[in-house]
Amino acid sequence: MDLGIAGRKAIVCASSRGLGRACAKALAEAGCEVVINGLDKDRLAATAEELRKETGAKIVAVAGDVASPEGQKALFAACPEPDILVNNNAGPPFRDFRDLDRQKMIDGVVGNMIVAVELVQKAIDPMVAKKFGRIVNITSGSVKMPLFGLDLSSGARAGLTAFLAGVARSVAAANVTINFMLPGIFDTDRFRSNVVSTAEKRGTSYDQALKLNIDSVPARRIGTPDEFGATCAFLCSAQAGYITGQNILIDGGRFPGAF
């Protein structure tokens, strides 16, 4: 399927690995020029070279912290007027809410809400002027199904969802869409490290901890990053202009609800 976005310019945040990388790859396969981003310069450079070989697309690597003014400035220096913006940032670690002090809570809200809003502020007016824009925010399945220990992540990402819901309606007439992708369990380094941590805490083996996760998913498997990336690319496509302000849950049926 031709997504109608060949030649479009995209910024994909936190994309040196995991779900961000999968989104960057899918957009590159659709013919976009993609700016990728990450903290580790060597890993980012390796990812950029891999994506060039895999897709033949123009890939620009911008190392830096997307949460910092300097990191954001570098992103928009590389791509001043993106047609596509994929917001992504690592969430705070599992932690009992009793252990959260004020600074930890502020850091979580900045990382998983304020940063995305700042990037949308920078990108949205040129999109409106061009009558084309696609903004996808990677949040979490915990926005709809909060999990104890991820309270800060859930709260900050839910705040972003509510904040941008009204913004999405305000720019829809200009063919600018804002949507949210809510991942469940996907085969990423972060997920694998969480399985290791869970196994250690429970005194079980890695395989036993992994099975517990898989058994919680009606599809009885872990999602693949490529599946996630393909959904992201569709939301950024020319054909997805009538989808906006929506939460797309991708979790193999784990959320037990119809709405």
Alpha helix ranges (H) inside 9-130: 18-29, 41-55, 69-78, 102-109, 115-130
Query: Would you state the pLDDT for residue 124?
Result: 98
CA atoms of 193 and 155, how far apart (whole Å):
23
Q: Please compute, for residue 61, the number of CA atoms within 13 A of its CA located in the half-sphere on the CB side.
A: 19
Q: What is the CA radius of gyration of the chain?
A: 18
Contact 174, 185 (CB under 8 A): no
Give me the DSSP letters along 32-67: -EEEEEES-HHHHHHHHHHHHHHH---EEEEES-TT
Q: Cα dihedral sign for 222, 94, 144, 122?
A: negative
This prediction has a pTM of 0.95
pLDDT in tens, 107-117: 999 999 999 99
Kindly list the strands in the beta sheet with 247-250, ordered across the sheet, starting from the edge strand earlier in the chain: 59-63, 33-38, 9-12, 84-87, 133-138, 176-183, 247-250
pLDDT tens for the 259 residues of the chain, in order: 899 999 999 999 999 999 999 999 999 999 999 999 999 999 999 999 999 999 999 999 999 999 999 999 999 999 999 999 999 998 888 888 999 999 999 999 999 999 999 999 999 999 999 999 999 999 999 999 988 888 999 999 999 999 999 999 999 999 999 999 999 999 998 888 889 988 888 899 999 999 999 999 999 999 999 999 999 999 999 999 999 999 999 999 999 988 8
Could you give phi then psi for residue 123, rounded to 5 degrees? -95, -25
- Determine the residue type at 79: C
Of 31, 78, 23, 75, the residue nearest 57 (C-alpha): 31
pLDDT in tens, 8-56: 999 999 999 999 999 999 999 999 999 999 999 999 999 999 999 999 9
Tokens at 172, concatenated: 């829809």
